[in-house]
């Protein structure tokens, strides 16, 4: 159980174009999804948190107009990198959680396999 | 500001040895401490997690030791195997918050 998929696994795009990455929870309903960015040999950097049916909350320094997040259903969130540039090349990872238990503790986050974006 | 500090950055262990990775945190509100294992080109996978009401949790060859007063926790991998070679991340979160604060990662290499 608790499987999260991402599509595509790798994408190469030209500078100035937009790229959409999908994140799906396959066997559970994800009230909350997270998007991370990871540079080589570095830790995961949280970009934004999205709750189903509401606007995403972006971390400081992350351009919301550049990284569009849509959490359209309890099993799907998308990240669109608009007008991509070479500096956007990175490994993008999503995670999904059932949200909060009654009493306030969080459910575990389950991570997708990641998407390698290369902008040429 | 790094909320969770992790060391060492890299670790080389002989097959059969014990791998130990340490993490420290400052925010006493943190009450959930998971460890993730990540292989190259893959997303992190939850390995084991602990809450501060216990000082140790063991699952197979993996053990988390937790020291609440020192605000430290560590991952011990017993009988380390070459297949354990990966990057390990500790993390922390707090009740009422969804997001995880990750350590900087430890690249473990187990030599046959």
Q: Which of B24, B23, B75, B73 is nearest to B52 (CA)?
A: B73
Give residue-wise pLDDT tens across range B36-90: 999 998 999 999 999 988 999 999 999 999 999 999 999 999 999 999 999 999 9
pLDDT at A48: 94
pLDDT at A103: 62
Reply yes or no on whether the pLDDT at B24 is more than 70. yes
Provide the 3-class DSSP secondary structure of residue A88.
Answer: helix
Structure tokens at B49: 């997690």
Q: Please give the backbone phi and psi of residue B104, each rounded to the nearest 5 degrees, phi first.
A: -85, -5
Q: Measured between alpha carbons, how far is B112 from B83 in angstroms, rounded to an integer? A: 10
pLDDT at A72: 84
Q: In this predicted structure, which of A15-19, A27-31, A75-79 has the lowest mean pLDDT? A: A27-31
Reply yes or no on whether the pLDDT at B33 is more than 90. yes
Q: Please give the backbone phi and psi of residue A2, each rounded to the nearest 5 degrees, phi first.
A: 60, 55
Give residue-wise pLDDT tens across range A42-62: 889 999 999 888 889 999 999
Average pLDDT, whole number, for chain B?
94
Q: What is the DSSP letter of A61?
A: T
Q: Measured between alpha carbons, how far is A37 from A88 in angstroms, rounded to an integer? A: 10
Q: Which of A68, A57, A1 is nearest to A30 (CA)?
A: A1
Confidence of residue A2 (pLDDT cuts 50, 70, 90): confident
pLDDT at A60: 92
Element spanning A23, H or E: strand A19-25
pLDDT at A108: 82
Distance from CA of A79 to the nearest CA of B (A): 16
Interface test with B, best of A62, A105, A115, A118 (most B CBs within 10 A): A105
Distance from CA of A82 to the nearest CA of B (A): 23
Confidence of residue B16 (pLDDT cuts 50, 70, 90): very high
User: A108 or A46: which carries more pLDDT confidence?
Assistant: A46
Confidence of residue A1 (pLDDT cuts 50, 70, 90): low
The contacts of residue B99 (CB under 8 Å, 6+ apart) are A34, A46, A49, B93
Give me the residue from B32, B44, B98 closest to A111, CB to CB.
B44
pLDDT at A15: 97
Confidence of residue A106 (pLDDT cuts 50, 70, 90): low
CB B87 within 8 A of CB B42: no
Judging by beta carbons within 10 Å of its beta carbon (0-12, 13-18, 19+), is residue A13 exposed, middle or buried?
middle
Distance from CA of A31 to the nearest CA of B (A): 11
- Which residue is closest to A5 within chain B, CA to CA? B43
Enumerate the residues of chain A whose CB falls inside 8 A of the CB of residue B42: 113-114
Helices (H) and strands (E) in chain A, counts: 0, 11
Hey, are the CB atoms on A100 and B96 less than 8 Å from each other? yes
Hey, are the CB atoms on A106 and B49 less than 8 Å from each other? no
Reply yes or no on whether the pLDDT at B96 is more than 90. no
Structure tokens at B79: 């009988």
Reply yes or no on whether the pLDDT at A104 is more than 70. no
Reply yes or no on whether the pLDDT at A99 is more than 80. no
Distance from CA of A18 to the nearest CA of B (A): 22
* Average pLDDT of the segment spanning A30-46: 91
Hey, are the CB atoms on B49 and A108 less than 8 Å from each other? yes
Give me the residue from A4, A44, A112 closest to B102, CB to CB.
A44
Reply yes or no on whether the pLDDT at A105 is more than 70. no
């Amino acid at each position: 159980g608790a499987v999260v998929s991402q599509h595509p696994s790798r994408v190469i795009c030209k500078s100035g174009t937009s790229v959409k990455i999908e994140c799906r929870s396959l066997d559970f309903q994800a009230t909350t999804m997270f998007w991370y960015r990871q540079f080589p040999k570095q830790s995961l950097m949280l970009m934004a948190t999205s709750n189903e049916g509401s606007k995403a909350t972006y971390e400081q320094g992350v351009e919301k107009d550049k990284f569009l997040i849509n959490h359209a259903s309890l099993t799907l969130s998308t990240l669109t990198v608009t007008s991509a540039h070479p500096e956007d090349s990175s490994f993008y990872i999503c995670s999904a959680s059932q949200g909060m238990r009654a009493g306030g503790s969080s459910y575990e986050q389950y991570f997708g396999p990641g998407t390698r974006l290369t902008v040429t | 500001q790094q909320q969770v500090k992790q060391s060492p950055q890299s670790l080389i262990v002989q097959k059969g040895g014990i791998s130990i990775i340490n993490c420290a945190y400052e925010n006493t509100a943190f009450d959930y401490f998971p460890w993730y294992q990540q292989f190259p080109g893959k997303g992190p996978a939850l390995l084991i997690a602990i809450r501060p009401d216990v000082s140790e949790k063991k699952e197979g060859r993996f053990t988390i030791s937790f020291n609440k007063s020192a605000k430290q926790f560590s991952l011990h991998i017993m009988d380390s195997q070459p297949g354990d070679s990966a990057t390990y991340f500790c993390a922390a979160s707090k009740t009422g918050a969804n997001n995880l604060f990750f350590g900087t990662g430890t690249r473990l290499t187990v030599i046959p």
